[in-house]
Amino acid sequence: MHAIRSLLFCAALAALGTATAHAETPTPESVLGARVGDDFFLATYDESIAYFRQLAAASDRVELVRVGETSFGLDWYLAIISSPENLANLDEIRATAQRLAHPEGLSGEEARRLARDGKAVVHIDGGLHATEVAHAQHTIQLAYDLATETEDPEILAILDDVVLLLWPSINPDGQNIVVDWYRSNLKTQYEVAPLPRLYQKYVGHDNNRDGYMLNTLESRVATRVVREWEPQILYNHHQTSPFPSRIWIPPFAEPVSEFVHPLMWRTVNLVGMSMAQALEERGQDGAMHMGTGFDNWYPGFLDHANNFHNVAALLTETGLYRYATPHFYTIDDFPGGERDLRPRSLYASPWEGGWWRLRDAVDYMLTASISVLDVAAKYKTDLLYNRYQAGRDVIAGHRREPPFAYFVPRSQRDPVAAVELLRRLAFNGVEISRLTGAATFEGQDYSEGTWVIPMDQPFANFVRQLFAVQSYPDLREYPEGPPDQPYDVAGWTLPFQMDVRVVAATSPLDEPIRRALEPVTGTALPWDSDVADAATFDSPLGVGFDSHAVAAAIRPPAGHASGSGAALVVDPAQNNSFRALNRTWAAGGKVSFIRDGRYAITGLGDVDTLVKDLALQAERGPAGGQRLARPRIGLYRPWDPSMDEGWTRWLLERYDFDFANVYNAEMVAGDLRSRFDVILIPDIPSGEILRGHAKGKVPPRYAGGIGPRGVRALDAFVRAGGTLVTWNRGTLFAVEQLHLPVENIVADLDKTDFFMGGSIVEMIVDTSHPVMSGMPERAKIFVDRSPVFTVPGDFEGAVLAKYADAGSPLLSGYLLGEEHLQGYASALDVHHGDGHVVLLAMRPQWRAQPFGTFRIVFNAALYGSQLAAAAPDNPGFWSPPEREEEESGDDESGR
């Protein structure tokens, strides 16, 4: 493609100081002091924006727009790049994109006219994963190249027919964090040392897994912009191409999501093939298609979530060494199967090795980005019309076949959880209605105010993908081999995770129901609103979105306290009850635990405000129960950063828990019992807890884990009456290091016999135990390669949850080897000295999605010695299942 050759040649001329046609436009190096992609140089986000400001001031092709703030309070900007004529006409261009994205009432003829006269809108971003440094550097060069090219007809066609929404970075905080870390270690033995903290305030790498939950501020800002503009293509850069390929590009690996309009996959594949062609024309070897590895099954990727909105969304993975440090590869560095350099259909020009520099990655990304824009310009009319056609087809399909709608009753175990679910859908552009009066449909009675999601709308596939039960296909690495595990997770069914009752309509909505429906939200948010600002989203209703277009309309039933008495009794089935407890302690009030599993609040002057603000469905009753002091909670935070720790920190903050992070040095120092009542260890592998970063790999402050001294300190903490709470892989650390009488019975099973990755299963719960207060007896719980426990008959403690004795517990996702679960334990309270170790073989707060199991974490965080004293004995809940004996002399372990 001549356009790409021209742009890269233009960049080379700029690097030599050659005058361009826009001589007054500042070059990146004139502002940054270095060429984009130079060895050992990375621009911070602040420096990048300083350049974009000067570029926008000098060029009539570039506008810089503030779109909100980041989690750490940085002003966040979007660059809009196109011809001056298009920039002067953005409102009309945006209106056309919106109209085609929402095709109700639009004829095919009118849609073709809009497609012919409109402009393509393309989103390209500077990447989410900040240690993948090249993408946020390449946006600087891309903006300059597009702003200054004056002769190339293909580039001029792009400017005429495409509006580019270019994010200098889609993770500004992370860009600053990573660049500052790299600079602090430059020219030392730690130059390529791994980052000792997450590169997003809470979730690090999982910032690309939040596309439908929108828990992080950055996800909401990005989604708000996408829903405002409704681009036809969304391109998300990444930089972890499987070695030795230099860039991985679509088509994606199998399986792909079920409910995506096929035109999206065809467009994504077209773009991928166009990228490959452009890379070959440039002599940029090593382009591999994503035939293996990167599937598009999980809908929570920030890019992929938009495929369900009929946006052709894709990512690429470009080669990376570390930061801006160059590296030389020889054939001996290649995996054995890649050393023959044999061309393959999806890897036609194998990379032969040599130097790999940051500038190489930047150049590959420039080729890929311009290729996307070139496709958008050449196929502009088709892209715009296909957006209309996809939306029209989705609407028509859901008028022909079920589900025709979803009913969400206002009466729920936790009414606020339903609101949290619906707000996320509405923020993602889904149209939600409510019944203006009581109605009956398909034999079920629904009260006034019941929410209804009619599925004859253009974004219906998004709802369906989130609400459906997943059945991950049984793909194998080779015939009769182990499962080809999902790239991310296998099942996520949102109503299951959030414990929200949703009823699918299996027949078309009749006329009485249609007449009773009243829309409660639109599909777009006002561009000039402040819904991107942090304070807007942290509403009193848990972690919902108090935005202009959503929260005013989607509200839970009003808070209410029935009965009379000195105490306000709150139900742990409602997550906001824990906010109430924490606010009570903070205000000097008193909290008690009642034997029926509820909590009682006394000593507050105004509980009515608490009930109203938190929409509590509570009771008034007599004071009493086991008095609880506010527990002193510690959350373990390693220097080998843990996303699960970050999600836990996010969750505890949102529900007003008072806690402190506990680092390795504090663990090793000991005397933990004098400072903490409860210590939480999230889903972190034993090796990372014990050993952390190897000595010499990072600066000394960040090296090592808690080691044997830290283990002894934890053991002393529990024996002295403390409570250690662990989940998923963290449980294995506790079992192994504290020598607990617990066995993980699936530890030695081969993947051909047992695999349970990222799925929702049913567990039977002992609801009489304080840790399980508020849970249903049969609970839907997320697991991810979780252990499965058994204990001896003389075990001191309690089984809190178990699997049924027969049948498969799988509800959504993938499970191989159900017989290895039947009758075994999934949560334990182990007595250890005078204290307790709570082992949760699950992920109860996974990515802050399972609202239905947050209460397990919350109850466990309150499970200090006082609450443990209220735990009843329930020996009849569980007994060890019989196990097959191992045959003598057989090295293979039996069940």
At 685-699, the pLDDT tens digits run 999 999 999 999 999
Task: Spell out where 403-556 has E strands.
Answer: 405-408, 433-435, 439-441, 444-446, 451-454, 503-505, 517-519
Residue closest to 435 by CA, chosen among 509, 516, 552: 516
- DSSP-based three-state secondary structure for 719: helix
Task: Spell out where 366-457 has E strands.
Answer: 405-408, 433-435, 439-441, 444-446, 451-454
**Cβ density class 432-455: b for 16+ within 10 Å, e for less:** bbbbeeebebeeeebeebbbbbbb
Question: DSSP label at 639?
Answer: S
Q: Which amino acid is at 876?
A: G
How far is Cα 747 from Cα 729, in angstroms, rounded to an integer? 11
**Cβ density class 417-429: b for 16+ within 10 Å, e for less:** bbbbbbbbbbbbb
Q: Give residue 807's Cα distance to chain centre.
A: 31
Question: Taking a C-beta distance cutoff of 8 angstroms, is the pair 298, 258 a contact?
Answer: no
List helix spans (H) across 401-467.
Answer: 415-427, 460-467
Return the pLDDT at 876.
81
Residue closest to 525 by CA, chosen among 801, 315, 228, 134: 228
Return the pLDDT at 292.
65
Return the pLDDT at 484.
86
Q: Give residue 108's Cα distance to chain centre.
A: 37
Q: Which two tokens stand for residue 197?
A: 């903290």
Question: Where does residue 257 fall: left (phi above 0), alpha (psi -120 to 50 degrees), or beta otherwise?
Answer: beta
Q: Which residues of the chain carry a pLDDT beneath 70?
A: 1-23, 291-292, 521-552, 884-895
Q: Which own/partner pairs from 23-26 qualify as long-range (CB within 8 Å, at least 24 positions apart)?
A: 24/58, 25/55, 25/58, 25/59, 25/144, 25/147, 25/148, 26/51, 26/54, 26/55, 26/58
Q: Which two tokens stand for residue 408?
A: 């969400």
Return the pLDDT at 537.
35
Return the pLDDT at 874.
80
Return the pLDDT at 892.
35
Question: Taking a C-beta distance cutoff of 8 angstroms, is the pair 42, 60 a contact?
Answer: no
Placement of tokens 């594949």 in the chain: 269
Dihedral pair phi/psi, residue 830, rounded to 5°: -100, 125
Q: How many CB atoms lie within 10 A of CB 550?
A: 25
Q: Which residues lie across from 827 on neighbouring strands?
A: 801, 840
Question: Taking a C-beta distance cutoff of 8 angstroms, is the pair 801, 875 a contact?
Answer: no
Question: Taking a C-beta distance cutoff of 8 angstroms, is the pair 699, 814 a contact?
Answer: no
Give the H or E element holding residue 220: helix 217-229
How far is Cα 818 from Cα 532, in angstroms, rounded to an integer? 45
Nearby residues of 337 by Cβ (< 8 Å), 6 or more positions away: none
How far is Cα 277 from Cα 286, in angstroms, rounded to an integer? 12
- DSSP-based three-state secondary structure for 172: helix
Compute, in degrees rounded to 10, the torsion defined by CA atoms 710, 716, 717, 721. Answer: 170
Q: What is the CA radius of gyration of the chain?
A: 28
Return the pLDDT at 547.
39
Q: Which two tokens stand for residue 216?
A: 């992080």
Return the pLDDT at 884.
62
How far is Cα 502 from Cα 175, in angstroms, rounded to an integer? 40
Q: Give residue 574's Cα distance to chain centre.
A: 23
Residue closest to 282 by CA, chosen among 335, 246, 321, 322: 246
How far is Cα 125 from Cα 128, in angstroms, rounded to an integer? 8
CA atoms within 13 A on the CB side of 134: 33
Question: DSSP label at 204?
Answer: G
The pLDDT tens digits for 509-551 are 999 999 999 998 643 333 223 322 322 333 333 333 333 455 4
Residue closest to 675 by CA, chosen among 720, 740, 734: 720
How far is Cα 56 from Cα 147, in angstroms, rounded to an integer? 9
How far is Cα 678 from Cα 866, in angstroms, rounded to an integer? 11
How far is Cα 118 from Cα 311, in angstroms, rounded to an integer? 16
Return the pLDDT at 529.
30
List helix spans (H) across 125-210.
Answer: 134-148, 153-161, 172-185
Q: Which two tokens stand for residue 307?
A: 């495929």
Nearby residues of 594 by Cβ (< 8 Å), 6 or more positions away: 569, 600, 624, 625, 626
Nearby residues of 340 by Cβ (< 8 Å), 6 or more positions away: none
How far is Cα 53 from Cα 68, in angstroms, rounded to an integer? 16
Return the pLDDT at 388.
98
Q: Which residues lie across from 433 on neighbouring strands?
A: 452, 519
Question: Judging by DSSP bridges, how do beta strands 567-570 and 617-621 pair with one another?
Answer: antiparallel
